[in-house]
Structure 1
């Protein structure tokens, strides 16, 4: 009898332990499932944030496909004499720098990444200050020849030149125009060359974009912008439908092939010192240091202070209170002008 009682007690204890184990396992499993559920629920938000950030064009701040975001970026030096107008491809550039060259007529160095224009030009020679701008971006640049000063910089520092003198097959001449205003290239031809030279590198420039920044009602009105650079050249912009439409010497600026207007989202005006060198031919443009200017977008303008620590660092734009200025998502035309040049913003 005692033996039966012992057996019954042992069976009861075993059942209790089994139940307890099952309960413990159930609680542990629920805890793990709950943990996994929370983890899985948090992933989409994190992934969504990553998705929002990873396909943004670096120089326009616009959302693009992964394929476009990964396209190689490059720069191209484009002529702006009257014989070179209208130019090709500038309306598809992410950023165009416009600054003075010899003879009192500006020249451009344009950044291309988001778009792939089939024709870019006319391509002209490099100057030291254009080489300096390319160094700020750490991007390869297309050109045809150079000044002696620019050549020395390129050779001494082994810069990523795409000189037509060395890579003629990636350029062509348009016989409907007179030389030297007839040299052209394309995004495809330059990217082919860039890949073969292993020049596909990340840019040093990290731009800030914020559309809401330009809803500030305290900014200055800027429906019309006029830059009178000398007796040979003026350029202006008129704000319409969210874009600034460009003219040069009173004539609307258009793309040569399809007559599409040059229209930009942002205008940067950077004041600095531009001086004639001792040879009385070439220019020195101060790009390092600090100075004043304007940033213009969405029919508004804000006074800015620019600064640049050294020739390889990024040019930083801040407002008069020392806060960073964001660009409006879209393309930008960046003027580097002399402190004495006249600017009218209305």
Structure 2
């Protein structure tokens, strides 16, 4: 994306205007258009990653329950953003969509040239995004894939139509993450809930025996999508990583944390009402992240959506 395109996009977002080719809709993130396969910009076997706003003004989210993986990242001021990865299902709409961060580029290397949907990025970061092994699809490159909701103020009202970026979900082989699914290993500790906090954001995961899922809460409030469904995870991974200060900051001077997802460390895996203390390892950026139990065996995940919450190891 060129500097002029980036500037035009930033101006459009700041003004809260409707993107060309995208209908305005209501705050629930609904999209009444039905794009045909011929309208899709890409026919790809790669996963779709969408950067999602998670400020209180952005909730409830749209299309989050259809994601295969939801990553939780800390951003400026102790707030958080979500990265939702789709391979097996493509919802009709996803959002609200927000801007990319430097951390995303390393995180997404474990997928095979994923499609990245995001609202924009700092000018200094744009060349790194252009050089990364992914297909960048911000509104400046794919205006017809986005639309504005009318019930929320910008920038919390930008939504994506996934089928405008790919004609069909690529399927589970696109998820080259190193995760392994199967029956629960022996051991673990019975656990009713787990909380992870940043300085300005808090996530809680509470086990529901009746639903056989972990119920997600954000900042003390039960998380729901715009269709009224609870947000639930089959497996939750609290991955302890190094977070350092990056060279990027927001308009208030808050520096963006850089989350190091290559390396090794400790993690806690929640599944089936139990917690397992494990080790994680990702030797190179192109490698998937593997998790092993204390006896050196691969940790298995429950089938269903996986949440990975990055927590500071220090």
TM-score after normalising by structure 2: 0.77
The corresponding residue for 1:252 is 222
Against the structure 1 CA distance between its residues 277 and 75, is the aligned structure 2 distance closer, same or farther, given a 3 Å change threshold?
closer
The corresponding residue for 2:202 is 234
Say whether the 8 Å CA contact 1:292–1:303 is kept in structure 2.
yes
Query: Deviation of residue 202 (structure 1)?
Result: 4.3
How far, CA to CA, are the matches of 2:153 and 2:235 in structure 1?
33
How far, CA to CA, are the matches of 1:149 and 1:209 in structure 2?
39
Which one of the candidate residues 237, 240, 246 is aligned to 1:277? 246
Are 1:330 and 2:299 counterparts? no
The structure carrying a bigger helix percent of its residues is: 1
Are 1:209 and 2:184 counterparts? no
Against the structure 1 CA distance between its residues 123 and 193, is the aligned structure 2 distance closer, same or farther, given a 3 Å change threshold?
farther
Query: Deviation of residue 206 (structure 1)?
Result: 4.5
Are 1:153 and 2:128 counterparts? yes
How far, CA to CA, are the matches of 2:169 and 2:120 in structure 1?
18
Against the structure 1 CA distance between its residues 86 and 310, is the aligned structure 2 distance closer, same or farther, given a 3 Å change threshold?
same
How far, CA to CA, are the matches of 2:64 and 2:166 in structure 1?
17
Higher RCO structure, 1 or 2 (CA under 8 Å, sep 6+): 2
Which one of the candidate residues 138, 150, 157 is aligned to 1:163? 138
Q: Secondary structure at the match of 1:282?
A: strand
The corresponding residue for 1:110 is 84
How far, CA to CA, are the matches of 2:284 and 2:53 in structure 1?
27
- Runs of 4+ in structure 1 off by over 6 angstroms are none
- Gaps of at least 5 residues in structure 2 are 1-43, 249-253
Say whether the 8 Å CA contact 1:318–1:324 is kept in structure 2.
yes
How far, CA to CA, are the matches of 1:310 and 1:158 in structure 2?
14
Which one of the candidate residues 96, 104, 115 is aligned to 1:122? 96
The corresponding residue for 2:293 is 319
Q: Secondary structure at the match of 2:144?
A: helix
Query: Deviation of residue 278 (structure 1)?
Result: 5.2
Against the structure 1 CA distance between its residues 135 and 251, is the aligned structure 2 distance closer, same or farther, given a 3 Å change threshold?
same
Determine which structure has more spread, i.e. the larger CA radius of gyration.
1
The corresponding residue for 1:220 is 189
Are 1:132 and 2:106 counterparts? yes
Are 1:293 and 2:267 counterparts? yes
Q: Secondary structure at the match of 2:137?
A: strand
Q: Secondary structure at the match of 1:153?
A: helix
How far, CA to CA, are the matches of 1:172 and 1:226 in structure 2?
34
TM-score after normalising by structure 1: 0.71
Between 1:95-104 and 1:71-80, the stretch displaced more is 71-80
The corresponding residue for 1:26 is none
Say whether the 8 Å CA contact 1:268–1:296 is kept in structure 2.
yes
The corresponding residue for 1:10 is none
How far, CA to CA, are the matches of 2:242 and 2:107 in structure 1?
16
Between 1:298-307 and 1:147-156, the stretch displaced more is 147-156
Against the structure 1 CA distance between its residues 162 and 248, is the aligned structure 2 distance closer, same or farther, given a 3 Å change threshold?
same
Query: Deviation of residue 234 (structure 1)?
Result: 1.2
**Deviations 1:81-122 (CA, angstroms, capped at 9, x unpaired):** 111111111112111000101121110111112222112001
How far, CA to CA, are the matches of 2:309 and 2:124 in structure 1?
22
Say whether the 8 Å CA contact 1:223–1:299 is kept in structure 2.
yes
